Structure 1
């Protein structure tokens, strides 16, 4: 019997457009793979809608708050609907950048020094010697990320603006110069490493999701030692947080710092993008898994109690 898959997309976070793009692409691929698919734009009535649909599997294509912070995972556990990606605890830990860093550091993975502070404090004066990076504590897709350069006398004043939507608690972390590396883990196996190259100020939302916003070098042209280290640490991060399904871990590599350079883990993503420009599907393809194979594997891997 053909499985009925509800692809959860859209949602209520800042990353809604990304999620819609991911969800539609995944739904189309699942249909090509032979599944019966219902696309579900997630709102506050999601529990009632899922009860009515009674899918065999929920494919979680949501991003950001409510979608990758353990919330929708808890709903699916309560409804006993098998779902893709990581479970409640791993999802909640990974999206909270502060808690994730505590877990990663405890696992022996190098992370950047950081400070947690309120928006007013971060906007008034430097809470860390520049250069540094300001991030919302629980957002993805580089929403609200600002780089403060060494010669800036004051923090970016948009932090204090009335239209700021990056939350009231922010993470300020040491800026690491160098190269952007990333590696997905699929079912406990590290995929090939990608270097992300962009002409923009950094790998921001535009670079991630606009055609031509960034260039992916796959496999990354780095030393075998660093390549292996990125794969090893990506798997360590996946396991340290208790993740399931597919994740993607991002790094900065300063190859000018000492003999082997400085490799630092930035974060782990439990809901990596599945858009046409996304990294995890590209890495899976390089490893021999078509997009249809990837999403089919995710459906067959789905479960409760993740």
Structure 2
């Protein structure tokens, strides 16, 4: 079902749509903003949509509200890691985005990088950190590193480290959010993100910030973060990046929609960082910006995502 075919009849065929938002992850506040934007967009196009702030009684809420389909906009753990997807499949409720396995894999930065590396896809070298890690040895092996929780998004708990002392401090910071922490070789150069929606790569965005890196504040609060879309790449590099992101997406078995984050080093080589299976949809978010660059407004984008199919099938 394309945007062109979204007639009044096809809108009605979507049934009662629940926008699942909020939850209890570290990304709750962003999810609330994303969810409200998605809800408003759906309702503006005549969709019978409601919002549900996810809590332990979510199964009962879905039954009592007689939900036909779900737009999942829960960021982080509980909504992006396969748990919610498993529940929805058991309840036979179609939903947006990737299924159980791909969601769980993409949420785990270690498993993601292991699969990409094993498939010959370029991703920076990394090491899983522990309390007794050889901090100096890791710096000597990897150089400057990016330290981050293995199961968080939105750059939460993330920091840079160029020496052993800073690495230990960064590990302690990240450990506040996750029991699994990784140190990833820092790639210096241009940063890009590429949305993938129903098997198609959307225009790449190049990110530029005055912050040390593209952190939480740069993503959601700062007004001086620059987004270049379409990214200023040669046609050859544009094609290379798009094909790489499609490969990275399908390699994890992802479906529906998502966003692949990539670095380009000083030699022009691309390096895969991570796959977001439930990207942000706020006024600072990147998937809407990419869609707008090709003439698709926000409500059209939301309808495109939800009408393009659902993992558990349409009832």
Corresponding residue number in structure 1 for 2:147: 134
Cα contact 1:58–1:83 (8 A) shared by 2 = yes
**Pair 122,59 (structure 1): closer, same or farther in 2 beyond 3 Å:** farther
Give the stretch that moved more between structures: 222-231 or 180-189. 222-231
Q: 2:158 aligns with which of 145, 150, 171?
A: 145
Counterpart Cα distance in 1 of 2:158 and 2:88: 31
Corresponding residue number in structure 2 for 1:285: 292
Instruction: Mark the runs of 5 or more structure 1 residues left unpaired by the alignment.
Output: none
Q: Does 1:218 align with 2:229?
A: yes
Q: 1:60 aligns with which of 72, 75, 81?
A: 72
Which residues of 2 match residues 219-234 of structure 1 at below 5 A? 219-234=230-245
Which residues of 2 match residues 78-89 of structure 1 at below 5 A? 78-89=90-101
* Offset, 1:154: 4.0
Counterpart Cα distance in 2 of 1:121 and 1:85: 38
Deviation by residue 1:185-212 (Cα, 9 ceiling, x = unmatched): 1111111111000000100111111141
**Pair 263,98 (structure 1): closer, same or farther in 2 beyond 3 Å:** same
Give the stretch that moved more between structures: 20-29 or 210-219. 210-219
Question: Aligned with 2:203: secondary structure?
Answer: strand
Counterpart Cα distance in 2 of 1:287 and 1:35: 24
**Pair 158,148 (structure 1): closer, same or farther in 2 beyond 3 Å:** closer
Counterpart Cα distance in 1 of 2:119 and 2:297: 32
Question: Aligned with 1:86: secondary structure?
Answer: coil
Counterpart Cα distance in 2 of 1:152 and 1:100: 26
Counterpart Cα distance in 2 of 1:252 and 1:283: 17
Corresponding residue number in structure 2 for 1:37: 49
Cα contact 2:97–2:311 (8 A) shared by 1 = no
Q: How many residues align?
A: 299
Cα contact 2:264–2:270 (8 A) shared by 1 = yes
Question: Aligned with 1:34: secondary structure?
Answer: coil
Q: Does 1:295 align with 2:307?
A: no
Give the stretch that moved more between structures: 176-185 or 104-113. 104-113
Question: Aligned with 1:268: secondary structure?
Answer: strand
Q: Does 1:70 align with 2:77?
A: no
Cα contact 1:123–1:156 (8 A) shared by 2 = no
Q: What CA RMSD, in Å, does the superposition of the two structures yield over aligned residues?
A: 1.9
Counterpart Cα distance in 1 of 2:182 and 2:269: 21
Question: Aligned with 2:132: secondary structure?
Answer: helix
Corresponding residue number in structure 1 for 2:274: 267
**Pair 51,125 (structure 1): closer, same or farther in 2 beyond 3 Å:** farther
Deviation by residue 1:118-164 (Cα, 9 ceiling, x = unmatched): 2x235965633331111111111001111012x56442526436x95
Cα contact 1:6–1:59 (8 A) shared by 2 = yes
Counterpart Cα distance in 2 of 1:105 and 1:246: 22
**Pair 122,285 (structure 1): closer, same or farther in 2 beyond 3 Å:** farther
Corresponding residue number in structure 1 for 2:264: 253
Instruction: Mark the runs of 5 or more structure 2 residues left unpaired by the alignment.
Output: 1-8
Q: 2:30 aligns with which of 18, 36, 54?
A: 18
Q: Does 1:111 align with 2:118?
A: no
Cα contact 1:128–1:172 (8 A) shared by 2 = no
Q: 1:169 aligns with which of 169, 177, 180?
A: 180
Counterpart Cα distance in 2 of 1:287 and 1:107: 32
Counterpart Cα distance in 1 of 2:172 and 2:248: 34
Q: 1:93 aligns with which of 97, 101, 105?
A: 105
Counterpart Cα distance in 2 of 1:88 and 1:53: 24
Give the stretch that moved more between structures: 204-213 or 183-192. 204-213
Corresponding residue number in structure 1 for 2:194: 183
